[in-house]
Amino acid sequence: MKFATIRTVTGTLAVRQTAAGFVSTGFPDVGALLASGSAGAGEPVVAGDFAPVVPAPGKIFCVGLNYRTHIQEMGRDLPSHPTLFAKFADSLIGARDDIVLAPESSAVDWEAELAVVIGKPVRRASEAEAAEAIAGFTVLNDVTMRDWQFRTREWLQGKTFESTTPIGPFLVTPDELPGGVRPVLDIHCSVNGETVQKSNTGDLVFDPVDLVRYISTITTLRPGDVIATGTPGGVGHARQPPRYLADGDVVVTEIEHLGRLENWARTQ
């Protein structure tokens, strides 16, 4: 199944995609739908603009250095454990919203990512429990202010600028995907029509089940929580010379079977 959170004149609404169009689930967003444990049911609705597929996740975990190609281009060794950092919900935007270029940064970079969305509470998960806890997958671009990221050894300050991180448009359940909870999907990012990232999620060092197991050791993962699994090679910061986003750039992030984000970079 495919779910989305759309904007309406009365607020946001979680919808399910059918062959005939969108059907209301009766819940205000996909996070609330997952927390209910229901698939929802309702009347057909006219599709509105996409909001973040989960507008207010309780937790957003991100994984750095998780594609072999990206690790190599950054000159690092393969990690023994996932590299984790966090984002906050205020950083999230919808599938067609503008990426805000904050005036404080001159090094805004793209990072196409597969994102896991949690569907049930899980703590200290076994492999089977971790797989069962995955509600589905979506597309995310972990837009990063590199000059802020590398001010210190901690990355968070460059990773969670407000209104920078598109996520959506759909949550797609594992049964719809080749590989299920370990999906093997082509991932692609372009800037102004030029391909800058092209890879496959099969290149992940730690797959989604691994990540749910690992992170659930630290804290309880709950419905609507998001795990961004990392980005493949091709980021602007690793280029010679480095390349960063500018006002008016169009960033397209796509993962097969999951959907497409198309976002303009705009100066604040």
Check which CATH number belongs to the domain holding 177 and give it: 3.90.850.10
Cα–Cα distance for residue pair 67/23, rounded to 1 Å: 36
- Give me the pLDDT at residue 52, please: 98
Q: Which residues on adjacent β-strands are paired with residue 204?
A: 67
- Give me the pLDDT at residue 201, please: 96
Enter the pTM of the model: 0.96
Locate 236 and state its tokens. Answer: 């602007």
- Give me the pLDDT at residue 79, please: 86
CA distances from 239 to 49, 204, 234, 242, 244 (A): 34, 21, 8, 5, 10
Q: What contacts 109, CB < 8 A, 6 or more positions away?
A: 143, 144, 145, 146, 235, 236, 237, 244, 245
- Residue 129 forms part of a structural domain: yes
pLDDT tens digit at each of 268 positions of the chain: 999 999 998 899 999 999 888 999 999 999 999 999 877 677 888 878 999 999 999 999 999 989 887 777 777 788 899 999 999 999 999 999 999 999 999 999 999 999 999 999 999 999 999 999 999 999 999 999 999 999 999 999 999 999 999 999 999 999 999 999 999 999 999 999 999 999 999 999 999 999 999 999 999 999 999 999 999 999 999 999 999 999 999 999 999 999 999 999 999 8
Q: What contacts 153, CB < 8 A, 6 or more positions away?
A: none
- Residue 17 forms part of a structural domain: no
- Residue 37 forms part of a structural domain: no
- Residue 138 forms part of a structural domain: yes
- Residue 248 forms part of a structural domain: yes
- Residue 178 forms part of a structural domain: yes
- Give me the pLDDT at residue 74, please: 73
State which residues form the domain around 132.
52-267
Please work out, in degrees rounded to the nearest 5, the angle formed at the alpha carbon of residue 105 by the alpha carbons of 159 and 259: 50
- Residue 159 forms part of a structural domain: yes
- Residue 40 forms part of a structural domain: no
**Total domain count, the chain:** 1
Cα–Cα distance for residue pair 27/174, rounded to 1 Å: 21
CA distances from 26 to 2, 43, 120 (A): 15, 9, 19
Q: Supply the DSSP symbol for 27.
A: S
